[in-house]
Amino acid sequence: MGAGTAAVEAVWRIESGRLVAGLARLTGDVGTAEEFAQDALVAALEQWPVTGVPPNPGGWLMTTARNRAVDGFRRAAVHRRAVETVGRAAPASLDERDAVDDALDDPVGDDLLRLLFTACHPALNREYRVALTLRCLTGLRTDEIARAFLVPEPVAGQRISRAKKALRDKGIRFEMPGPAEVTERLASVLEVIYLVFNEGYSATAGDDWMRPELSAEALRLARLTAVSVPDHPEAHGLAALLELTQSRAAARHDATGRPVLLQHQDRRRWDRLLVRRGLAALVRARDAGGGTVGPYTLQAAIAACHATAPTAADTDWVQIAGLYDVLATAWPSPVVALNRAMAHGHAAGPAAGLALLDAVDVEALARYPQLPAVRGELLAMAGEHAAAAAGFAEAAALTRNGPERALFTERADRARAAADPMGP
């Protein structure tokens, strides 16, 4: 890849969301907006390697896309006149360029939010929402989205195209929902952001322990959402959770790229700016909630306990276990139950954790490697190293992530060594 092409891709990652969002407001259709934006991208790929990157690359892309839109509108107007339907879709006196300029002059932040809420419409299923959000707001290519979610590229492409078609067919407008719909739509938006972040922070499969581009984009979208709907506590709660979690990202691997668990991380590598941002967002979530908290805010509170502990030994596991009790009662799930067992294991001893682990829905987590890994951790804490080794070995066999498999295998080896110090 040449320097010019690399520059185009870098600018595209930054500007594509803004570009598509502005054009979507102009055209009223996400698919059409993306076509104009892609035209601008193709023009950049053709010209920048020859002429060099312009001083304002984002402005260049927007101007080029705008001109494509003007041309498209003009062709459409000619067509409408030809079939004597001028004025049905647009006034006959429409000055296309002025209309485009006026439309694109609206605040960009509003455009991005409209696009986010449109892509996350609850009429679309979860896979469609995630694919469309990534495509339109982060600029990821279809093959990158396919890789991120471990599906063949044609499947990822189908999800994107079907999502756009569904928006058109259902007549879903490119706009912010009204006040009565904000809560329902916001829940969908937050869920998609949460899913994207989690996949970036702990990749489900593949050779990468993390996918930083996904978690970074999710964090950006969470910040944008929280700022734009300041009265919704869970928007701040999710932003707080992602800020605090992302603050540990640099310490999650060593110099060779090997995973480093939370209890062994060098906390000097934690990003203190993100910690401060996360704690501030957590306060906003609590204030906006008026004394009530949702699942994202509760998880953020748990993350804050880790973030504010000077060392792993100083972690307030009693408080964390209490927060998991609340979370498991109000928003029960097998994963929350699993994490609750681990928290109680640290707070009250491994026997307490193992007792709670017995109550976890193992069928629901049958293919989830963290289940045997947590069992292995609690058994190791209890000194039952042979059983712990079996747990870590089972986790290694289940995970589809290469670095995670190596980590579990190493822990299984160490547990075996502890169980039989005189062994081979």
For 139-192, the pLDDT digits (tens) are 777 887 776 666 788 998 999 999 988 988 888 877 777 777 777 788 888 988
pLDDT digits (tens, 9 = 90+) for 211-251: 787 888 889 889 989 988 889 999 999 999 999 999 999 99
CA 300 – CA 240 distance, rounded (Å): 6
Q: What's residue 2's pLDDT?
A: 64
Strand partners, 206: 401
Q: Which two tokens stand for residue 249?
A: 């990202």
| Length of the chain as a residue count | 424
Q: Is-contact 225 193, C-beta < 8 A?
A: yes
Q: What's residue 214's pLDDT?
A: 81
Q: Is-contact 121 174, C-beta < 8 A?
A: no
Q: What is the mean pLDDT of residues 264-278?
A: 96
Q: Is the pLDDT of residue 87 over 70?
A: no
Q: What's residue 143's pLDDT?
A: 80
CA 108 – CA 105 distance, rounded (Å): 8
Which own/partner pairs from 96-103 qualify as long-range (CB within 8 Å, at least 24 positions apart)? 96/70, 97/70, 99/73, 100/26, 100/66, 100/69, 100/70, 100/73, 101/66, 103/22, 103/25, 103/26
pTM here is 0.78
Instruction: For residue 195, give the amino acid letter.
Output: L
Greatest CA separation for the chain: 92
Q: Residue 42's Cα: distance from chain center in Å?
A: 27
Q: What's residue 321's pLDDT?
A: 98
Q: Is the pLDDT of residue 92 over 80?
A: no
pLDDT digits (tens, 9 = 90+) for 17-61: 888 888 888 887 888 888 888 888 889 888 888 888 888 888 888
Q: Is the pLDDT of residue 103 over 60?
A: no
Tokens 């110090």 sit on residue: 421
Task: Return the percentage of the chain with pLDDT > 70, whole number.
Answer: 89
The vertex-122 CA angle with 121 and 128, nearest 5°, equals: 75
Strand partners, 253: 259
Q: Confidence class of residue 94 from pLDDT cuts 50, 70 and 90?
A: very low
Backbone angles phi and psi of 420, in degrees to 5: -140, 75
Least confident of 90-94, 190-194, 409-413: 90-94
